[in-house]
Homo-oligomer: A and B are copies of this chain.
Amino acid sequence: MEYNFSDRVKDLGGNAIREIFKLLADPSVISFAGGFPTKTTLPTQLIATTTSELMSSSEAENILQYGSTEGYTPLRLTAIDYVRRYGINDINIDNTLIISGGQQGIDLTFKTFVNKGDVVLVEDPTYLAVLHILKTYEATAIGVDSGNDGLDLADLESKMIMHKPKVLYVVPTFSNPTGRTYSIAKRKAIYELAVKYNVIILEDDPYSELRFSGERVPSIKSFDKTGNVIYITSFSKTLAPGLRTGIAIGDPEVIRKMTIGKQATDVHTSSLSQAIINNFLSKSLMDARVSELIPLYLEKKNAMMSAIEKYMPKEFTYTNPDGGLFIFGEFDESLGINTMKLFPEVAAHKVAYVSGHSFFASEDKFNTLRLNYSNASLDQIDSGMKKLGDFFKKIIANK
């Protein structure tokens, strides 16, 4: 039959990164493209022993039975304690919702607040899946300028006035794609503006455990006295993305509506995943886990910083993150380098990045690219960056 797809999907392709993944099925390709945790760190034995323990416990049948949409009660209770590490206090179980990965928290927030045609503000550049999700709501994403310290407050305020956005989406700690972190002062100022203009802040915080330098910064949610902020975190970067489990924290009235939205999609998150994570958090294993991950990620990040320095052309400038998974770089605009157009040629050399334009809402900056350092080995980081450096030096020489 001739399909008559809904308006929300009829012109929609897959998001750029998920599509690149398919090209990367070739194992000989060195990928700096994804945002995958380092494969060798994935806790296979922990998952096996935890599952055995859970399936021998008195909770076993509850874990395999239907659960409540809000989440597995023991995990919701554990979450109240867990988010104290992000400065979030004075909440109770009604402030918590267990989600099927951080991405579902984003989707449910928009489902709860965004009508067709509404505006959502995002940092420019931002997590590209957010731009994709907003298309499924037929909403408009508008980019806010940003610098080393996060959003430009003047631009943010003027866009709040001009566009009356429903939601502001931010990744204030080790942002995807830039790796940058907002200062405390910037966080407070953003919160104040959201209150002033009646905007929901969606604070996405998947990376903050992966800090290898600098001091921890409290979440924007930690300043929230008015219920403007929805905070989401996940266990994809710290434990295992395959479990698809995260936590959303918000005002009970908001959590209630998000729960109704979730009920209409997956009923609840896999209870086995939820119980595994609850077991892990209840035993206070996060700090030990993170202290294993950090030296490894730092070593990889340092390897990539050195390799960029060593191999990339001098016209390439780049961020220097204190944590997370990404470095964002750009070529001097005057060179006219287009990382999207060049991608197929680069990929033919068996190395991959994500073209940076995909992360921008308001302008396509084709001279940018995102590099991930958690997926490749140290050797691959060196040899892959050499390939990239040689490639771009040649392009520049031929200009």
Contact = CB atoms under 8 A, between A and B. Distances in A.
Contacts of A133: 264-265
Interface string A1-17: 11111111100111100
Interface stretch (A66-74, A176-184, A204-212, A284-292): A66-74
A18 B264 CA distance: 11
Contacts of A112: 5-6, 9
Contact of A1 (B39, B48, B227): B227
Copies in the complex: 2
Nearest to A63: B242
A44 interface: yes
Contact of A47 (B55, B259, B260, B261): B55
A350 interface: no
B34 A259 contact: no
11 contacts: A3-B227, A4-B113, A5-B113, A13-B260, A36-B65, A36-B66, A66-B242, A100-B270, A107-B266, A242-B270, A245-B270
Given A4-B113, A18-B263, A51-B48, A65 B244 contact: no
A2 B65 CA distance: 37
A394 B129 CA distance: 59
Interface in A243-280: 243-245, 251, 253-254, 257, 259-261, 263-273
A236 interface: yes
Contacts of A228: 1
Contacts of A193: none
B66 A42 contact: no
Contacts of A254: 3
A64 B240 contact: yes
B111 A6 contact: yes
A104 B265 contact: yes
A321 interface: no
B272 A12 contact: no
Interface residues of A, number: 89
A5 B257 contact: yes
B101 A266 contact: yes
A7 B261 CA distance: 12
Given A243-B272, A253-B3, A254-B3, A136 B111 contact: yes
Interface of A: 1-9, 12-15, 18, 21-22, 34, 36-37, 39-40, 42-45, 47-48, 51-52, 54-56, 60-61, 63-69, 100-101, 103-104, 107, 111-116, 118, 129, 132-133, 135-136, 166, 195, 198, 226-228, 236, 240-245, 251, 253-254, 257, 259-261, 263-273
Given A42-B64, A64-B243, A257-B9, A263 B101 contact: no
B39 A61 contact: yes
Contacts of A13: 260
A236 B67 CA distance: 12
A297 to B, nearest CB: 16
A70 to B, nearest CB: 10
B264 A136 contact: yes
A267 to B, nearest CB: 5
A270 B115 CA distance: 29
Contacts of A136: 111, 261, 264
